[in-house]
Amino acid sequence: MRRCYLPRHMLAVVTAVVVIGAGGCGYDEEKPIFMAPGSYGDIAIVVSSDAMVGAAKTLGDELNVAYRFVINREMLFNIDVYGPRQWDLSRNYKNIIFLWRVGDGGPVEKVLRDQLSDAGEARAAEPKGALIELEQPFASYQHAVVITGQDRNSLLSSARARADDLRQLFERESQSRIMRRYRHEGLNEQLMAQVWRKHRFFMEIPGGFQLNQDEPDGYPGVELMKTAPSRGITVAWSQSVDPGLIAEYKPLLIELRREMGLKMHGEDIVEDSFVWKEDTVGDLPALRLEGAWTSRRFEGGGPFWSWFVADPERQRVICIDALCYAPGMDKMDIFRRLRAVVQTFSLDRPQP
Protein backbone atom coordinates (compact mmCIF):
# COMPACT_ATOMS: atom_id res chain seq x y z
CA MET A 1 0.00 0.00 0.00
CA ARG A 2 1.18 3.53 -0.75
CA ARG A 3 2.52 5.51 2.22
CA CYS A 4 3.64 9.13 2.28
CA TYR A 5 6.99 9.98 3.84
CA LEU A 6 9.82 12.45 3.46
CA PRO A 7 13.42 11.52 2.66
CA ARG A 8 15.61 10.75 5.65
CA HIS A 9 18.31 13.12 4.50
CA MET A 10 16.08 16.08 3.62
CA LEU A 11 16.79 18.02 6.80
CA ALA A 12 20.53 17.51 6.40
CA VAL A 13 20.60 18.68 2.79
CA VAL A 14 18.71 21.93 3.16
CA THR A 15 20.07 23.45 -0.04
CA ALA A 16 18.98 20.49 -2.17
CA VAL A 17 15.26 21.18 -1.87
CA VAL A 18 12.75 23.98 -1.97
CA VAL A 19 10.16 23.88 0.79
CA ILE A 20 6.76 25.01 -0.47
CA GLY A 21 4.78 24.14 2.67
CA ALA A 22 4.82 22.19 5.88
CA GLY A 23 3.49 18.70 6.29
CA GLY A 24 0.89 16.98 4.14
CA CYS A 25 1.14 14.69 1.19
CA GLY A 26 -0.72 14.51 -2.09
CA TYR A 27 -1.19 15.89 -5.58
CA ASP A 28 -3.01 19.13 -4.74
CA GLU A 29 -0.90 22.17 -4.00
CA GLU A 30 -3.15 22.81 -1.01
CA LYS A 31 -1.29 19.81 0.48
CA PRO A 32 2.32 20.83 -0.22
CA ILE A 33 5.42 18.72 0.32
CA PHE A 34 9.04 19.28 -0.66
CA MET A 35 9.38 20.35 -4.29
CA ALA A 36 11.81 18.26 -6.32
CA PRO A 37 14.79 20.49 -7.22
CA GLY A 38 16.67 20.63 -10.49
CA SER A 39 15.52 20.67 -14.08
CA TYR A 40 12.47 19.11 -15.71
CA GLY A 41 15.01 17.44 -17.97
CA ASP A 42 16.62 15.48 -15.11
CA ILE A 43 15.77 11.76 -15.10
CA ALA A 44 16.91 9.10 -12.64
CA ILE A 45 16.73 5.50 -13.83
CA VAL A 46 16.62 3.13 -10.85
CA VAL A 47 17.06 -0.63 -11.21
CA SER A 48 16.04 -3.30 -8.73
CA SER A 49 19.19 -5.34 -9.43
CA ASP A 50 22.80 -4.37 -10.10
CA ALA A 51 22.71 -6.79 -13.04
CA MET A 52 20.52 -4.30 -14.93
CA VAL A 53 22.72 -1.20 -14.56
CA GLY A 54 24.44 -1.60 -17.94
CA ALA A 55 21.16 -2.15 -19.80
CA ALA A 56 19.62 0.82 -18.00
CA LYS A 57 22.41 3.05 -19.34
CA THR A 58 21.60 1.78 -22.85
CA LEU A 59 17.95 2.67 -22.26
CA GLY A 60 19.04 6.16 -21.23
CA ASP A 61 20.97 6.56 -24.49
CA GLU A 62 17.95 5.45 -26.52
CA LEU A 63 15.63 7.73 -24.56
CA ASN A 64 17.75 10.81 -25.21
CA VAL A 65 18.00 13.00 -28.31
CA ALA A 66 20.37 15.85 -29.14
CA TYR A 67 19.49 19.45 -29.95
CA ARG A 68 21.80 22.08 -31.38
CA PHE A 69 21.63 25.60 -29.98
CA VAL A 70 23.71 27.69 -32.40
CA ILE A 71 27.04 25.83 -32.09
CA ASN A 72 26.48 23.95 -28.83
CA ARG A 73 24.97 20.49 -28.67
CA GLU A 74 22.70 19.72 -25.71
CA MET A 75 20.79 16.59 -24.82
CA LEU A 76 17.04 16.64 -24.21
CA PHE A 77 17.51 14.92 -20.83
CA ASN A 78 20.18 14.67 -18.15
CA ILE A 79 20.06 10.99 -17.18
CA ASP A 80 21.67 9.20 -14.23
CA VAL A 81 21.43 5.49 -13.44
CA TYR A 82 21.30 4.14 -9.88
CA GLY A 83 21.55 0.60 -8.55
CA PRO A 84 19.33 -0.65 -5.71
CA ARG A 85 21.65 0.51 -2.93
CA GLN A 86 21.63 4.07 -4.33
CA TRP A 87 17.92 4.32 -5.15
CA ASP A 88 17.43 6.96 -2.43
CA LEU A 89 19.31 9.50 -4.56
CA SER A 90 16.45 9.45 -7.06
CA ARG A 91 14.08 11.11 -4.57
CA ASN A 92 15.29 14.58 -5.57
CA TYR A 93 14.77 14.17 -9.33
CA LYS A 94 11.84 15.70 -11.20
CA ASN A 95 11.51 12.45 -13.22
CA ILE A 96 12.18 8.82 -12.22
CA ILE A 97 12.06 5.52 -14.09
CA PHE A 98 12.02 2.39 -11.93
CA LEU A 99 12.95 -0.88 -13.66
CA TRP A 100 11.63 -3.53 -11.29
CA ARG A 101 11.97 -7.26 -11.74
CA VAL A 102 9.23 -8.42 -9.42
CA GLY A 103 10.72 -10.80 -6.86
CA ASP A 104 14.19 -9.25 -6.76
CA GLY A 105 13.59 -8.20 -3.17
CA GLY A 106 15.78 -5.50 -1.72
CA PRO A 107 15.21 -1.77 -1.17
CA VAL A 108 13.72 -0.92 -4.58
CA GLU A 109 11.05 -3.61 -4.33
CA LYS A 110 10.26 -2.52 -0.79
CA VAL A 111 9.80 1.16 -1.64
CA LEU A 112 7.68 0.37 -4.70
CA ARG A 113 5.40 -1.92 -2.75
CA ASP A 114 5.02 0.91 -0.23
CA GLN A 115 4.13 3.34 -3.04
CA LEU A 116 1.72 1.18 -5.03
CA SER A 117 -1.92 0.60 -4.25
CA ASP A 118 -3.28 -2.96 -4.06
CA ALA A 119 -4.44 -2.59 -7.67
CA GLY A 120 -0.98 -1.35 -8.67
CA GLU A 121 0.73 -4.29 -7.01
CA ALA A 122 -1.62 -6.66 -8.84
CA ARG A 123 -0.72 -5.04 -12.15
CA ALA A 124 2.98 -5.22 -11.35
CA ALA A 125 2.67 -8.97 -10.76
CA GLU A 126 1.11 -9.67 -14.17
CA PRO A 127 3.27 -12.09 -16.22
CA LYS A 128 3.45 -9.70 -19.18
CA GLY A 129 4.65 -6.87 -16.93
CA ALA A 130 3.20 -3.38 -16.67
CA LEU A 131 3.91 0.34 -16.92
CA ILE A 132 2.57 2.21 -13.89
CA GLU A 133 2.75 5.98 -13.38
CA LEU A 134 3.16 7.58 -9.96
CA GLU A 135 2.34 11.24 -9.34
CA GLN A 136 4.58 12.98 -6.81
CA PRO A 137 5.84 9.84 -5.03
CA PHE A 138 8.45 11.66 -2.90
CA ALA A 139 8.14 15.36 -3.76
CA SER A 140 5.80 17.75 -5.51
CA TYR A 141 6.21 18.43 -9.25
CA GLN A 142 7.70 14.95 -9.59
CA HIS A 143 6.62 12.17 -11.96
CA ALA A 144 7.70 8.53 -11.82
CA VAL A 145 7.19 5.56 -14.10
CA VAL A 146 7.48 1.98 -12.88
CA ILE A 147 8.18 -0.69 -15.53
CA THR A 148 7.83 -4.24 -14.25
CA GLY A 149 8.60 -7.73 -15.52
CA GLN A 150 9.02 -11.28 -14.31
CA ASP A 151 12.48 -11.75 -15.79
CA ARG A 152 15.23 -9.27 -16.53
CA ASN A 153 15.52 -9.86 -20.28
CA SER A 154 11.84 -9.30 -21.04
CA LEU A 155 11.73 -6.34 -18.64
CA LEU A 156 14.68 -4.62 -20.29
CA SER A 157 13.41 -5.39 -23.81
CA SER A 158 10.02 -3.95 -22.89
CA ALA A 159 11.58 -0.79 -21.46
CA ARG A 160 13.74 -0.22 -24.54
CA ALA A 161 10.77 -0.77 -26.86
CA ARG A 162 9.00 2.03 -24.96
CA ALA A 163 11.84 4.57 -25.31
CA ASP A 164 9.96 6.83 -27.74
CA ASP A 165 6.78 6.68 -25.66
CA LEU A 166 8.72 7.43 -22.46
CA ARG A 167 10.38 10.43 -24.08
CA GLN A 168 7.01 11.86 -25.11
CA LEU A 169 5.47 11.03 -21.73
CA PHE A 170 8.09 12.89 -19.72
CA GLU A 171 8.03 15.90 -22.06
CA ARG A 172 4.23 16.02 -21.89
CA GLU A 173 4.25 15.69 -18.10
CA SER A 174 6.97 18.31 -17.77
CA GLN A 175 4.94 20.74 -19.84
CA SER A 176 1.93 20.12 -17.61
CA ARG A 177 3.94 20.59 -14.40
CA ILE A 178 5.65 23.75 -15.66
CA MET A 179 2.30 25.36 -16.43
CA ARG A 180 0.82 24.13 -13.15
CA ARG A 181 3.65 25.88 -11.35
CA TYR A 182 3.19 29.08 -13.39
CA ARG A 183 -0.52 29.06 -12.55
CA HIS A 184 0.26 28.53 -8.89
CA GLU A 185 2.65 31.51 -8.92
CA GLY A 186 0.12 33.65 -10.81
CA LEU A 187 -0.49 34.47 -14.47
CA ASN A 188 -0.48 37.96 -16.00
CA GLU A 189 -4.22 37.87 -16.57
CA GLN A 190 -4.48 41.55 -17.42
CA LEU A 191 -2.02 41.14 -20.27
CA MET A 192 -3.73 37.93 -21.39
CA ALA A 193 -7.05 39.79 -21.65
CA GLN A 194 -5.37 42.70 -23.46
CA VAL A 195 -3.85 40.58 -26.23
CA TRP A 196 -7.10 38.68 -26.68
CA ARG A 197 -9.19 41.85 -27.04
CA LYS A 198 -6.77 43.53 -29.43
CA HIS A 199 -5.22 40.65 -31.38
CA ARG A 200 -7.59 37.71 -30.95
CA PHE A 201 -5.23 35.06 -29.68
CA PHE A 202 -5.10 33.47 -26.25
CA MET A 203 -2.03 32.35 -24.34
CA GLU A 204 -1.38 31.74 -20.67
CA ILE A 205 1.28 34.34 -19.85
CA PRO A 206 3.31 33.73 -16.67
CA GLY A 207 3.44 36.57 -14.19
CA GLY A 208 7.15 37.22 -14.83
CA PHE A 209 6.54 38.11 -18.48
CA GLN A 210 5.79 41.72 -19.48
CA LEU A 211 4.67 43.35 -22.71
CA ASN A 212 7.78 44.69 -24.44
CA GLN A 213 6.37 45.65 -27.85
CA ASP A 214 2.88 45.90 -29.32
CA GLU A 215 2.69 46.52 -33.08
CA PRO A 216 5.86 48.67 -33.25
CA ASP A 217 5.57 51.20 -36.08
CA GLY A 218 2.39 49.42 -37.15
CA TYR A 219 4.02 46.02 -37.67
CA PRO A 220 1.56 43.24 -36.72
CA GLY A 221 3.29 41.63 -33.77
CA VAL A 222 3.47 41.42 -29.97
CA GLU A 223 6.60 40.70 -27.91
CA LEU A 224 6.51 39.33 -24.37
CA MET A 225 9.76 39.40 -22.40
CA LYS A 226 11.29 38.11 -19.20
CA THR A 227 14.79 38.90 -17.95
CA ALA A 228 17.54 37.06 -16.06
CA PRO A 229 18.28 35.56 -18.50
CA SER A 230 16.64 37.44 -21.38
CA ARG A 231 14.02 35.33 -23.10
CA GLY A 232 10.93 36.19 -25.05
CA ILE A 233 7.90 35.00 -26.97
CA THR A 234 6.88 37.00 -30.02
CA VAL A 235 3.61 36.47 -31.88
CA ALA A 236 3.52 38.00 -35.37
CA TRP A 237 1.22 37.42 -38.32
CA SER A 238 0.74 38.01 -42.00
CA GLN A 239 -2.57 38.32 -43.84
CA SER A 240 -3.34 35.59 -46.38
CA VAL A 241 -6.29 34.66 -48.55
CA ASP A 242 -5.62 30.97 -47.90
CA PRO A 243 -3.44 30.63 -44.75
CA GLY A 244 -3.82 26.86 -44.68
CA LEU A 245 -1.87 26.51 -47.91
CA ILE A 246 0.78 29.11 -47.13
CA ALA A 247 1.47 27.42 -43.79
CA GLU A 248 2.85 24.52 -45.86
CA TYR A 249 5.05 26.73 -48.05
CA LYS A 250 8.33 27.03 -46.17
CA PRO A 251 9.97 29.91 -48.11
CA LEU A 252 7.07 32.20 -47.17
CA LEU A 253 7.29 31.10 -43.55
CA ILE A 254 11.02 31.88 -43.52
CA GLU A 255 10.26 35.31 -44.97
CA LEU A 256 7.67 35.93 -42.23
CA ARG A 257 10.21 35.00 -39.55
CA ARG A 258 12.93 37.07 -41.24
CA GLU A 259 10.72 40.17 -41.41
CA MET A 260 9.57 39.73 -37.80
CA GLY A 261 13.20 39.49 -36.67
CA LEU A 262 14.17 42.68 -38.48
CA LYS A 263 11.12 44.73 -37.49
CA MET A 264 10.85 43.66 -33.86
CA HIS A 265 14.29 42.44 -32.77
CA GLY A 266 16.78 44.07 -35.12
CA GLU A 267 18.22 40.68 -35.97
CA ASP A 268 19.13 38.44 -38.88
CA ILE A 269 18.40 34.72 -38.99
CA VAL A 270 21.10 32.27 -40.06
CA GLU A 271 19.69 30.17 -42.88
CA ASP A 272 22.23 27.33 -42.72
CA SER A 273 21.16 26.70 -39.10
CA PHE A 274 17.55 25.84 -39.99
CA VAL A 275 15.92 22.57 -38.90
CA TRP A 276 12.24 21.93 -39.74
CA LYS A 277 9.98 19.67 -37.68
CA GLU A 278 6.31 18.81 -37.68
CA ASP A 279 4.69 19.74 -34.38
CA THR A 280 1.50 20.99 -32.77
CA VAL A 281 0.61 24.11 -30.82
CA GLY A 282 -2.17 23.18 -28.44
CA ASP A 283 -4.63 21.40 -30.70
CA LEU A 284 -3.42 23.20 -33.86
CA PRO A 285 -1.16 21.53 -36.44
CA ALA A 286 2.10 23.44 -36.79
CA LEU A 287 5.47 23.53 -38.48
CA ARG A 288 8.42 24.30 -36.22
CA LEU A 289 11.61 25.98 -37.37
CA GLU A 290 14.69 25.79 -35.17
CA GLY A 291 17.60 28.07 -35.94
CA ALA A 292 19.97 30.84 -34.87
CA TRP A 293 19.76 34.63 -34.87
CA THR A 294 22.42 37.35 -34.82
CA SER A 295 21.75 40.89 -33.65
CA ARG A 296 22.23 44.05 -35.68
CA ARG A 297 22.12 46.10 -32.48
CA PHE A 298 24.88 44.43 -30.48
CA GLU A 299 27.54 41.79 -30.92
CA GLY A 300 25.74 38.59 -30.03
CA GLY A 301 23.05 36.14 -30.93
CA GLY A 302 21.37 32.96 -29.87
CA PRO A 303 18.87 30.23 -30.75
CA PHE A 304 15.21 30.49 -31.67
CA TRP A 305 12.28 28.12 -32.17
CA SER A 306 9.38 29.33 -34.32
CA TRP A 307 5.98 27.66 -34.70
CA PHE A 308 3.77 28.50 -37.69
CA VAL A 309 0.01 27.97 -37.51
CA ALA A 310 -2.90 28.92 -39.75
CA ASP A 311 -5.81 31.14 -38.65
CA PRO A 312 -8.39 30.60 -41.44
CA GLU A 313 -11.14 32.60 -39.71
CA ARG A 314 -9.06 35.80 -39.61
CA GLN A 315 -7.04 34.92 -42.72
CA ARG A 316 -3.68 34.99 -40.96
CA VAL A 317 -0.53 32.94 -40.92
CA ILE A 318 0.85 33.24 -37.39
CA CYS A 319 4.46 32.88 -36.26
CA ILE A 320 4.93 32.15 -32.55
CA ASP A 321 8.59 32.67 -31.84
CA ALA A 322 10.60 31.74 -28.73
CA LEU A 323 14.18 32.93 -28.31
CA CYS A 324 16.70 33.68 -25.64
CA TYR A 325 19.97 35.50 -25.09
CA ALA A 326 21.90 33.61 -22.43
CA PRO A 327 25.63 33.44 -23.20
CA GLY A 328 27.41 30.59 -21.45
CA MET A 329 24.19 29.00 -20.17
CA ASP A 330 22.52 25.75 -21.16
CA LYS A 331 19.48 26.46 -23.32
CA MET A 332 17.44 23.23 -23.21
CA ASP A 333 15.61 23.99 -19.97
CA ILE A 334 14.88 27.57 -21.07
CA PHE A 335 13.28 26.34 -24.29
CA ARG A 336 11.40 23.58 -22.48
CA ARG A 337 9.75 26.26 -20.33
CA LEU A 338 9.11 28.58 -23.29
CA ARG A 339 7.56 25.70 -25.21
CA ALA A 340 5.22 24.95 -22.30
CA VAL A 341 3.88 28.51 -22.54
CA VAL A 342 3.63 28.37 -26.35
CA GLN A 343 1.58 25.19 -26.08
CA THR A 344 -1.20 27.14 -24.33
CA PHE A 345 -1.68 29.28 -27.46
CA SER A 346 -5.18 29.15 -28.87
CA LEU A 347 -7.30 30.99 -31.42
CA ASP A 348 -10.28 30.54 -29.11
CA ARG A 349 -10.52 31.97 -25.64
CA PRO A 350 -11.37 29.29 -23.07
CA GLN A 351 -14.70 29.87 -21.37
CA PRO A 352 -14.72 30.28 -17.57
Q: Residues spanned by CATH 3.30.379 within the chain?
A: 14-183
* Nearest of 70, 69, 40 to residue 140 by alpha carbon: 40
Q: Could you list the pLDDT tens digit for every one of the 352 residues in the chain?
A: 443 433 333 323 333 333 333 333 333 443 445 788 889 999 999 999 999 999 999 999 999 999 999 999 999 999 999 999 999 999 999 999 999 999 999 999 999 999 999 999 999 999 999 999 999 999 999 999 999 999 999 999 999 999 999 999 999 999 999 999 999 999 999 999 999 999 999 999 999 999 999 999 999 999 999 998 999 999 999 999 888 887 779 999 999 999 999 999 999 999 999 999 999 999 999 999 999 999 999 999 999 999 999 999 999 999 999 999 999 999 999 999 999 999 999 999 876 6
For residue 238, CA distances in Å to 246, 312, 313 come to 10, 12, 13
Q: Residues spanned by CATH 3.40.1000.10 within the chain?
A: 188-342
Secondary-structure class of domain 188-342 per CATH: alpha beta
Q: Is 117 exposed, middle or buried (0-12, 13-18, 19+ CB in 10 A)?
A: exposed
The amino acid occupying position 291 is G
Neighbours of 204 (CB within 10 A): 19
Classify domain 14-183 by CATH architecture: 2-Layer Sandwich (3.30)
